[in-house]
Amino acid sequence: METKINDSLDVLIHDLKECKYSLEVLLMNLGNDEQRLAYNETDWLSILNSLRIASTNLISISNFFKYLNRDKREASIRTSVVLPKAYSEEVDPELQEMTNGRISVFNHDVIPHILRTKLIPAVEEEEAKIQQAAKDFELTKNYDKTVNYFKKTIEESANMIEKPKRDLETKQSNVVTYNLHDTFQLANLVYNLRIVPRQPGQRL
């Protein structure tokens, strides 16, 4: 059992190191290109490549925890508890090197942060704000989709109503509603003030 846990942890540690290195490379590229960013001369290909590698490593770590319960070989990690074996006020060079100088002693001040299972309140509050902003943005997108759907429906309904009207107007415009001969005779009658005899078969 202990061997399986160690093997799983070795895989996770390796992925974390790869992810840490890829993020360092990405930040270094962004830092070196800070001046180029101002003049729009950034090597975007290098930055995108670093971002792709970092994203791949993060996905690998995410999948490790995602399938943790599905894999019986690694499920034992869930039942394990990490506890400090010893603490000291003296500087630990190995710990200092492992944490890149962030932690030099493993004392009472450090242990609560190492064993913390929740974010610190300030970070937790910021995360809640970001999540709420993401939800608001999603709601806005849904509102826009709904408005666009209603607009499209109204336009289609208006076209359905206008089409028969246009067809009827077209038919009416093509129908001859007068007789040229009768119109000429009527105009001649009014102009000359005389009665024109009705032709045989002519309608009144």
170 or 195, which is more confident: 170
Residue of 24, 43, 45 lying closest to 35 (CA atoms): 43
Q: Same domain, yes or no, for 112 and 87?
A: yes
Domain that holds residue 64: 2-80
Backbone angle region of 101, left / alpha / beta, with phi > 0 → left and psi within -120 to 50 → alpha = left
- In this structure, of 48-57, 158-167, 171-180, the range with the lowest mean pLDDT score is 171-180
The pLDDT of residue 134: 85
* Number of separate domains in the chain: 2
Whether 89 is covered by a domain: the verdict is: yes
Task: Give the Cα separation of 44 and 36 in Å (integer).
Answer: 10
Q: Same domain, yes or no, for 54 and 111?
A: no
What are the tens digits of pLDDT across the range 82-136? 666 777 788 888 878 877 787 888 887 877 777 777 777 888 888 889 888 888 8
Neighbours of 157 (CB within 10 A): 10
Q: What is the mean pLDDT of the chain?
A: 75
Residue 202 has pLDDT above 60, yes or no: no
Neighbours of 59 (CB within 10 A): 13
pTM score? 0.40
Whether 15 is covered by a domain: the verdict is: yes
Q: Same domain, yes or no, for 104 and 47?
A: no
Whether 200 is covered by a domain: the verdict is: no
Identify residue 96 by its one-letter amino acid code: Q
**The pair of three-digit structure tokens given for residue 37, joined into one six-digit string:** 């960013």
Whether 128 is covered by a domain: the verdict is: no
Whether 204 is covered by a domain: the verdict is: no
Task: Give the Cα separation of 146 and 175 in Å (integer).
Answer: 44
